Structure 1
Amino acid sequence: MRYSRRLALAVCTLSVSATLATAQVAAAAPKSSVPITAPVSTAGTLDLDVVVSGHNGKPISGLQQQDFTVYMDKKQQPITSFRAVEATATSAAPIETILLIDTVNTRFSNVAYERQQVDQFLKRNNGKLSQPITLVILGDKGIQITPQASRDGNQLAAFLDKAEIAIRDIGREAGFYGWTEEFQLSASGLERLAAYEQTRPGRKLLIWISPGWPLLSGPEVELSYKDQEGLFASLVGLSASLRKARITLSSVDPLGTADGVSYRTTFYEEFTKGVPSAKKMQIGNLALQVLALQSGGRVLNSNNDVAGEIATAASDADAFYILKINSPAAEHPNDYRDISVKVDKPGLTARTRTGYYAQP
């Protein structure tokens, strides 16, 4: 059976009219057919948050501007500004870590383990967190968010313990239409969170604890060009929102080795390349893991130590670099530009945003 993607178009054209509050935020299905973000000129400078790590994956500090080379569409770009940041328990580093517990895409039977692992992470070091953390819970009915970021892990654990997580109304036994609704709630939640974070200063490290939403791509899924245009508009808007909010997204799979043989743990790799135009668009290009890698974050799965994986993702806040480069005006809307950063030190790799859509 082949599915029409008219439904996918409605799913993916998102609205940002909702505002996150400190209590409960409605996650009603968006009905707008307007792209996520109206195109705004990107001429000027482009900020890149760069994490450098060695073979053990831990962030490396102490590097200088001359150690970095930035390429845009494979052409070297001058670095116009450079700043090295090291976060400590007493520093006021321009970064906030957001832990998001996704109960939309996690079976109810696995949510308890997911919460237990988050609780374990929060209570490490007697609950003394190295950086401010905001706790977010995404569910079928909306978003719950802590009133403010906190370094008190015990306080955040108490919030998590009291949070009500209802049994999911949407089940994967509903088949294709259940999957599209999961996708809709997830993508809408990410967009609204990004819109909210644009109003807040500094870099944000968003750790999305979830096996990921359905990729909805494959030989049995057909897209018309009109569908591809709508999906592409959503991708461009979401990419712009994450960039403006300075969000680096990381994906942590709470299912551990139980999900190790799932297609989700590798299938997303087919969609990680930047999408230059609507005719190249597939729904898999909006996968959680794909968005994470393209934002400069991590994809962590197939490990039962979920608390440890969260700590690994959170370590990206310990040391990073802020580079500025020029962003020439585009000649046409949604001009995709590939970005890469190289480090002139053996054994070190740099992670940052892999591209952006330039506007006239």
Structure 2
Amino acid sequence: MLSNTSLLFFFFLATLLPPSFAQAPQPAQTPQPAKSEVTTLRAGTQLVVVDVVVTDKSQNPILNLKASAFALLEGGKQQQIKSFEEHTAPTAKPGLPPIPAFPPGIFSNYTPVPTGGAVNVLLVDTLNTPVLDQIYLHDQFHKYLKTAKPGAPMAIFGLTTKLLLLQSFTSDPELLKAAINNKNIKNSPLIDRVSGGNSTLLSDQAVGFAAIIQGANASSDAPLGTPGGFQQRIIQDIQQFESQQNSFQLQLRAKYTLDAINQLARYLEGIPGRKNLIWFSGSFPLDILPDSTVDDPFMAVASSEDEYRETTNLLTRAQVAVYPIDVRGAMTSPNMDVSQSTAIYQDDVLQIGADKRFASDQIKFHLENGSENLTMIRMAEDSGGYAFINNNDLVGAVSKAVAAGSHYYTLTYSPTDTNWNGNFRKIQVKLQQSGVTLAYRRGYYANDPNVPIVTHLTNKTRKDSATAAPRTDPMRVAMMHGAPNPTEITLKARVLPAGTEPETELAKDNTLNPSSDTKGPYRRYAIDIAADPSSINIQRAPDGNYHALLQFLTYVYDQNDNLINVVSNPVRATYSPTVYRQILHTGIPYHEEISVPLKGAYFLRIGLHDLATNHIGAVEVPVDSVKKLSPITASALTESATPHPIQK
């Protein structure tokens, strides 16, 4: 479900745009002079939205509270509650709005979701979950479906090294079971079979190698285990390498995970109201601690705090509350398991003190486990959810997460502190009633709503924290093949062949991936886009015209996720008042063309990036679905409404 404005726009386009695509051919464009940066303004009162879940000691939601029962503070100072609303689970079965029927060649990122109540999304994270725990997860989820409230729709995503949409919103238990058992959810190559403690692979290799050297150098003056001995040095180097490799794998897991959460937030932002993200995972640490079991403990240290800040910003903007559930349940050290404790604890091989090594691994396990639990707790608290850790009852955890996330209170306020310096501001909610637990987001970054945002076309990082640019390119994640379609900007695209004859040359502004060995002949496709202007930053200038800074992109992927071809056009759109009134009804138009190899199966990923706000919309189109359609005979655009590309 989209906002009312976006939904009306979308259904209006369903009948209006197909005829508009048959206008006169697009005239030649004259690029406007480009500057190194463009300035846009935001105006209005800063309104902070806080969703609060109130539960009793048994984590059951408490209902029918009044606004007078709440006290709202920012930075320790009392704030006036502007609006107050209680949300409860709908008594009637939630419905799904229909998907409009489009003519062949028309595609959109519109996603129907349940009407009424909070939206529940399940994330099955195999990237950070050991294989044995995944088996337990599947069993518990099947039990949950047997006891779940009938008719409660849910969407299911999977996380491997990328985010996968396994099942869109549905209440059909058979579809949900099929999604949780989807064979595309691969086991992670970046995590051990069990969590924590010693990693057996390289340690076993180190022991075996040490034994070989020990046998070959029985008469050595520096026996194995002697300080400074050659064999001991080799073992320590291997262990150091193992530690650094584990650190690198943890960093990759953190990157993939935060990328996926960012994608989910952008996918869900187009849906109004609260979204509950129920995240089944073995967790991952944001900060990788020193490894005391090796010579140089600090070689393994790493942090993902900057990326985490971006993720929490997106979750806040999309009104997503995260409910992490540790599928490992009540944790015990794997070092106590004889099947996991290998020869590294045998004195007769290493001669370095098995007790010392065992104690070090025990400390390492508890530190890593504590760090992973802290990540779950932080993400839950920062987004207004709740973390379920050290609990084997996964069925009960899901039920409580769904129940708590369906009963909540929404409070809004305008901060009394108008010093918008980009710093983090702490939010505190208090309740007169005792013996209750409050879950809500604990703060926000005070970005100034009235100071110009400077958008650098070169994507350089901005210096002040109030308008800091993302540290990673958001389009890198949004344009990944197979990723869920971001819905921050609702858009619609018509894709048709641009001609009947094969071509040996690429279409204008197309760029082949230099690492691809794909060659022609090609077939050229015409792409006409119409984007919802209500979700795009369009500013009125002193001369009365309206301006927006946008980036239109289309990527060509093959069936193996390899990027083949790219067309990317940053445009500075200028609209007269008359044209501006027109595009409020017809959408912001744009036309581009891209070349696709004739042989093979390919996919088009069509995206739009609002460079002033970092809002994104994207839709994916299988080329097989359009390649047999009749070629386009005219462009969809007219000169008056066409944004001009920025001169390169």
Q: Shorter-chain TM-score: which interval?
A: 0.7 to 0.9
SS of 1:157's equivalent in the other structure is helix
Question: Partner amino acid for 1:136?
Answer: F
How far the C-alpha of 1:197 sits from its partner, in A, is 1.1
SS of 2:265's equivalent in the other structure is helix
- Structure 1 residues 210 and 42 mapped into 2: Cα distance closer, same or farther (>3 Å)? farther
How far the C-alpha of 1:155 sits from its partner, in A, is 2.3
- Structure 1 residues 259 and 210 mapped into 2: Cα distance closer, same or farther (>3 Å)? farther
Match of residue 254 from structure 2: 183
- Contact in 2 for aligned 1:82/1:324 (Cα 8 Å): yes
Within 1, Cα distance between the matches of 2:43 and 2:397?
38
SS of 2:171's equivalent in the other structure is strand
Question: Partner amino acid for 1:145?
Answer: L
How far the C-alpha of 1:342 sits from its partner, in A, is 0.8
Listed as ranges, the matches of 1:16-27 within 5 Å are none
Listed as ranges, the matches of 1:277-296 within 5 Å are 287-296=375-384
Question: Partner amino acid for 2:150?
Answer: K
- Contact in 2 for aligned 1:72/1:338 (Cα 8 Å): yes
Stretch moving more, 342-351 or 53-62: 342-351
How far the C-alpha of 1:215 sits from its partner, in A, is 3.6
Matched, 1:314 2:402: yes
- Contact in 2 for aligned 1:42/1:359 (Cα 8 Å): no
- Contact in 2 for aligned 1:100/1:208 (Cα 8 Å): yes
Matched, 1:74 2:162: no
Matched, 1:93 2:116: yes
- Contact in 2 for aligned 1:250/1:293 (Cα 8 Å): no
Alignment equivalent of 1:135, drawn from 123, 143, 156 = 156
- Contact in 2 for aligned 1:54/1:60 (Cα 8 Å): yes
Match of residue 251 from structure 1: 324
SS of 1:56's equivalent in the other structure is coil
Q: What's the CA shift string for 1:96-138, capped at 9, x where partnerless?
A: 011111100111232121122122212324x725x32111111
Stretch moving more, 300-309 or 320-329: 320-329
Within 2, Cα distance between the matches of 1:205 and 1:185?
21
How far the C-alpha of 1:43 sits from its partner, in A, is 4.8
How far the C-alpha of 1:57 sits from its partner, in A, is 1.2
Match of residue 324 from structure 1: 412
SS of 1:250's equivalent in the other structure is strand
Rg bigger for which structure? 2
How far the C-alpha of 1:176 sits from its partner, in A, is 1.3
- Contact in 2 for aligned 1:67/1:343 (Cα 8 Å): yes
Matched, 1:167 2:187: yes
Match of residue 312 from structure 2: 239
- Work out the number of aligned pairs and report it: 299
Within 2, Cα distance between the matches of 1:158 and 1:89?
27
Where do 5+ consecutive residues of structure 2 fail to align? 1-40, 95-114, 193-198, 200-244, 291-296, 334-364, 449-648
Alignment equivalent of 1:212, drawn from 283, 286, 289 = 283
How far the C-alpha of 1:169 sits from its partner, in A, is 2.7
Within 2, Cα distance between the matches of 1:316 and 1:67?
19
Matched, 1:107 2:130: yes
- Contact in 2 for aligned 1:78/1:325 (Cα 8 Å): yes
How far the C-alpha of 1:262 sits from its partner, in A, is 4.6
How far the C-alpha of 1:148 sits from its partner, in A, is 2.4
- Contact in 2 for aligned 1:207/1:251 (Cα 8 Å): yes
- Structure 1 residues 201 and 351 mapped into 2: Cα distance closer, same or farther (>3 Å)? same
Alignment equivalent of 2:55, drawn from 41, 45, 53 = 53
- Structure 1 residues 194 and 329 mapped into 2: Cα distance closer, same or farther (>3 Å)? farther
- Structure 1 residues 121 and 42 mapped into 2: Cα distance closer, same or farther (>3 Å)? farther
Question: Partner amino acid for 1:309?
Answer: A
* TM-score, normalised relative to structure 1: 0.75
How far the C-alpha of 1:313 sits from its partner, in A, is 1.6
Match of residue 422 from structure 2: 334
- Contact in 2 for aligned 1:85/1:321 (Cα 8 Å): yes
- Contact in 2 for aligned 1:136/1:145 (Cα 8 Å): yes
Match of residue 298 from structure 1: 386
Q: What's the CA shift string for 1:75-105, capped at 9, x where partnerless?
A: 1111100101110351643410111111001
Residue identity over aligned pairs, in percent, reads: 24
- Contact in 2 for aligned 1:259/1:265 (Cα 8 Å): no
Within 2, Cα distance between the matches of 1:124 and 1:44?
43
Within 2, Cα distance between the matches of 1:315 and 1:133?
13
How far the C-alpha of 1:263 sits from its partner, in A, is 4.1
Stretch moving more, 184-193 or 301-310: 301-310
- Structure 1 residues 102 and 259 mapped into 2: Cα distance closer, same or farther (>3 Å)? farther
- Structure 1 residues 233 and 168 mapped into 2: Cα distance closer, same or farther (>3 Å)? closer
- Structure 1 residues 203 and 215 mapped into 2: Cα distance closer, same or farther (>3 Å)? same
- Structure 1 residues 99 and 132 mapped into 2: Cα distance closer, same or farther (>3 Å)? same
Match of residue 626 from structure 2: none
- Structure 1 residues 248 and 41 mapped into 2: Cα distance closer, same or farther (>3 Å)? farther
Within 1, Cα distance between the matches of 2:428 and 2:176?
36
Question: Partner amino acid for 1:132?
Answer: P
- Contact in 1 for aligned 2:124/2:180 (Cα 8 Å): no
Q: What's the CA shift string for 1:264-308, capped at 9, x where partnerless?
A: 554467x7xxxxxxxxxxxxxxx3431112212111111211121
SS of 1:248's equivalent in the other structure is strand
- The one of the two structures with greater contact order (alpha-carbon pairs below 8 A, sep at least 6) is 1
Match of residue 123 from structure 1: 146
How far the C-alpha of 1:347 sits from its partner, in A, is 1.8
Question: Partner amino acid for 2:159?
Answer: L
- Contact in 1 for aligned 2:287/2:305 (Cα 8 Å): no
How far the C-alpha of 1:251 sits from its partner, in A, is 1.0
How far the C-alpha of 1:348 sits from its partner, in A, is 2.2
